[in-house]
Amino acid sequence: MDLELVQRVQAGDKKAFDVLILKYQQRIVHVITGFVHDPVEALDVAQEAFIKAYRAIPNFRGDSAFYTWLYRIAINTAKNHLTSRARRPPAVDVDAMDATNYYDAAELKEFETPESSLMTDELQKTIHQAIEGLPEDTATAIKLRELEGMSYEEIAQVMECPIGTVRSRIFRARDAIDKQIQEIMGEGE
């Protein structure tokens, strides 16, 4: 469905790009933080990466998944950012593709503080506990979707139920998980 959103952007629908931002900004910011090691700076670089992606989206042909394509742009933007900082004043903008040559793959490791690592562990534990507490059909639906990567149609075949039911069960599972997460994250409405 990312492809459908991309096609809408290509057809002039900017709101569709807004959804792509909402979907991927947390992952992209996390990846970029692994490079720039500064949360505020990471937001600026992520913003730049999304803008570059928007400008390049007419050339996106769907040969790879949209996130893979976006991830590559984000990585190159982050490296480009680091390169320009190391060579101040940045009189010339280093090409993003060239910038990939300046860094070793070892530097691609993502930046995890002990605090964020602990939070990730806590989130995973909470989610799995929430899934275990779900009714069996709901838990099965979310596991087949998230862990097995099945489409709604495939899940409907496996569980021998309509696609609408699958969608409803997955939503109920997500909603229950979300309530648990909000408790530990303090994100109440």
Could you list the residues that contact other proteins (CB under 8 A)? Answer: 1-2, 4-5, 9-19, 21-23, 25-27, 29-31, 33-34, 39, 43, 46-47, 50-51, 54-55, 57-59, 110, 112, 116, 119-120, 123-124, 127, 145-147, 151-152, 167-168, 170-171, 174-175, 177-178, 181-182, 185, 187, 189
Closest contact distance (angstroms) between CB of 28 and other proteins is 9
Q: How far apart are CA 97 and CA 36, in angstroms?
A: 18
Largest CA distance in the chain: 63
103 vs 111, beta carbon nearer other proteins = 111
95 vs 110, beta carbon nearer other proteins = 110
Closest contact distance (angstroms) between CB of 14 and other proteins is 6
Query: What is the torsional sign of CA 167, 170, 173, 174?
Result: negative
Q: How far apart are CA 116 and CA 16, in angstroms?
A: 30
63 vs 187, beta carbon nearer other proteins = 187
Secondary structure (DSSP) of 115-153? HHHHHHHHHHHHHHHHHHTS-HHHHHHHHHHHTT---HH
Closest contact distance (angstroms) between CB of 122 and other proteins is 10
Closest contact distance (angstroms) between CB of 141 and other proteins is 11
54 vs 103, beta carbon nearer other proteins = 54
33 vs 83, beta carbon nearer other proteins = 33
Q: How far apart are CA 166 and CA 111, in angstroms?
A: 37
Secondary structure (DSSP) of 54-91? HHHGGG--SSS-HHHHHHHHHHHHHHHHHHHHHTSS--
